[in-house]
């Protein structure tokens, strides 16, 4: 969240804050790198209020309810949260936040509801809230109302009107302030719309196996043998194919195992390792409880909103003109459609992340500089989506690690305050398992197309290791479902929903 706020600074309108350009530069960065989580939250909340939003609205924007899977939520209220999700990601925690600006005093519990919050409203006009009942002794006859904060609920005192504002009435008021539902219908885009806008013949991805088959039509070069060269080039192993990819494509679940991991750390290994292997998962400790992604599924969502963002300080229809993805993985057909789209003013630019093999380390450094420069140039030319692709690999050209490439471009654009002007996608043969996808998203990728992993799954079916009853599309759906659910479990360990 802190990194994304740094990226959004380039879109802020200083006039909305009543500042000159020089004065604006003095208040940046919005989030001080040395501040705590609470300090970062406070800095962003103050920015939203200074930009014209009321305190309750700003808090609703930063700590939304779990609206995606709630079938009982009012349509207007759901549309409000859907609109706000196009502007900024949630800052929930799990957390219970109390806030005030002089007019309002309130508290809200995030959508996970893991923090205790109890409140009393008395006949004598007092409002008492604490982490548990009994913090303050109140005679029973003086209690007008009592209760607990529910997930996403806001307790709000309005000092100007001398009232305790009802949570439902408050959110109904904001949800009807603008026609959010109509804005979303007109502006929000979905991947299926882009796929349908591209002719079917243009959605066919180039085949890896077809491009490297020997000319003598050797019958052994079928199934997995047909792509053994690219598999070797990108570090695939039999273990990865049969113990990781096979169960995911066959059953739609990650393989289960109980053995310890005795592999040496990548930094200490004598063998070549993928860039992904230099990173390890973290998990929530002490103050940040993990989420249960199975029993608390209603509060989790993997939907992605990608593409250029709007100014946080505005409320306009154009701000929800973004592309919605059901998850961070896209199929080869979908990626080809994105690469060739020209839909409602949206175009994409493909950046080649391969370089000549004989150029060595210098070639790697030059390639990273090149793709960073090309990314900025593409933004100036009006492209909405950038695709980092290693499809140009061959016996003479080496692919830059997808993690290295996406991290370089993301950080370069963040440093130049341009990251929120474009979506960043990865089309690579390298990633194939949950950890790879998590690291790519963590380093700035909006979506990923693991095309070699998909081809490998299809080849495993050709070899008879997957029943022929499933179509290619069904195999990809199962693989994506298992991968995205695995990513959700990793996020849940960090208390992220």
Residue 163 confidence (pLDDT) above 60: yes
What pLDDT band is residue 284 in, cutting at 50, 70 and 90?
low
Instruction: Give me the pLDDT at residue 336, please.
Output: 94
| Overall average pLDDT of the 309-332 stretch | 90
Residue 128 confidence (pLDDT) above 70: yes
Q: Pairing mode, if any, of strands 397-399 and 354-356?
A: antiparallel
- 223 versus 359: which is more confidently predicted? 359
- 336 versus 213: which is more confidently predicted? 336
Instruction: Give me the pLDDT at residue 383, please.
Output: 95
Residue 217 confidence (pLDDT) above 60: no
- Which of 79-93, 367-381, 451-465 shows the lowest mean pLDDT across its residues? 79-93
| Overall average pLDDT of the 465-476 stretch | 92
Instruction: Give me the pLDDT at residue 218, please.
Output: 46
Instruction: Give me the pLDDT at residue 355, please.
Output: 94
- 332 versus 13: which is more confidently predicted? 332
Residue 213 confidence (pLDDT) above 70: no
What pLDDT band is residue 285 in, cutting at 50, 70 and 90?
low
Domains of the chain (ranges, CATH numbers): 2-185 (3.60.20.10), 189-289+327-493 (3.20.20.70)
pLDDT per position as a tens digit, 246-270 = 999 999 988 887 666 677 788 888 8
């Amino acid at each position: 969240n802190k990194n994304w706020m740094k990226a959004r600074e380039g879109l802020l309108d200083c006039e909305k804050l009543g500042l000159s350009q020089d004065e604006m530069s003095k208040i940046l960065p919005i989030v001080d790198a040395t501040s705590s989580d609470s300090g970062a939250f406070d800095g962003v909340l103050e920015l939203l209020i200074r930009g014209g939003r009321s305190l309750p609205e700003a808090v609703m924007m930063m700590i939304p309810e779990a609206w995606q899977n709630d079938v009982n939520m009012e349509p207007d209220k759901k549309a409000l949260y859907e609109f706000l999700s196009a502007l900024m990601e949630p800052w929930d925690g799990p957390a219970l936040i109390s806030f005030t600006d002089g007019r309002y005093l309130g508290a809200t519990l995030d959508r996970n509801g893991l923090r205790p919050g109890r409140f009393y409203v008395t006949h004598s006009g007092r409002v008492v809230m604490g982490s548990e009942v009994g913090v303050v002794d109140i005679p029973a006859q003086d209690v007008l109302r009592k209760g607990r904060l529910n997930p996403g609920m806001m307790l709000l005192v309005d000092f100007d009107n001398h009232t305790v504002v009802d949570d439902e009435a408050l959110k109904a008021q904001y949800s009807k302030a603008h026609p959010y539902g109509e804005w979303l219908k007109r502006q929000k885009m979905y991947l299926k719309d882009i796929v349908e806008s591209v002719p079917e013949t243009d959605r066919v991805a180039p085949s890896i196996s077809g491009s490297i088959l020997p000319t003598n039509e050797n019958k052994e070069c079928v199934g997995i043998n047909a792509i053994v060269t690219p598999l070797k080039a990108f570090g695939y192993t039999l273990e990865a194919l049969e113990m990781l990819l096979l169960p995911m494509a066959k059953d739609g679940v990650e393989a289960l195992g109980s053995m310890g991991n005795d592999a040496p750390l990548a930094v200490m290994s004598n063998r070549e390792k993928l860039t992904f292997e230099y990173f390890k998962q973290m998990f929530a400790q002490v103050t940040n409880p993990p989420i249960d992604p199975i029993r608390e599924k209603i509060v989790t969502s993997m939907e992605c909103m990608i593409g250029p963002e709007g100014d946080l300080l505005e409320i306009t229809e154009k701000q929800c003109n973004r592309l919605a993805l059901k998850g961070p993985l896209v199929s080869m057909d979908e990626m080809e459609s994105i690469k060739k789209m020209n839909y409602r003013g949206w175009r994409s630019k493909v950046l080649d992340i391969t370089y000549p093999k004989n150029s060595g380390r210098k070639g790697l450094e030059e390639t990273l500089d090149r793709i960073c420069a090309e990314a900025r140039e593409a933004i100036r030319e009006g492209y909405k989506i950038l695709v980092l692709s290693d499809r140009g690999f061959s016996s003479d050209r080496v692919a830059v690690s997808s993690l290295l490439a996406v991290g370089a471009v993301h950080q370069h654009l963040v440093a130049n305050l341009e990251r929120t002007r474009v979506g960043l996608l990865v089309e690579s043969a390298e990633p194939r398992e949950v950890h790879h996808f998590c690291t790519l998203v963590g380093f700035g990728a909006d979506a990923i197309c693991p095309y070699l992993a998909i081809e490998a799954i299809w080849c495993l079916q050709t070899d008879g290791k997957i029943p022929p009853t499933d179509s290619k599309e069904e195999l990809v759906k199962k693989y994506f479902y298992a991968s995205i659910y695995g990513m959700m479990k990793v996020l849940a360990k960090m208390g992220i929903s």
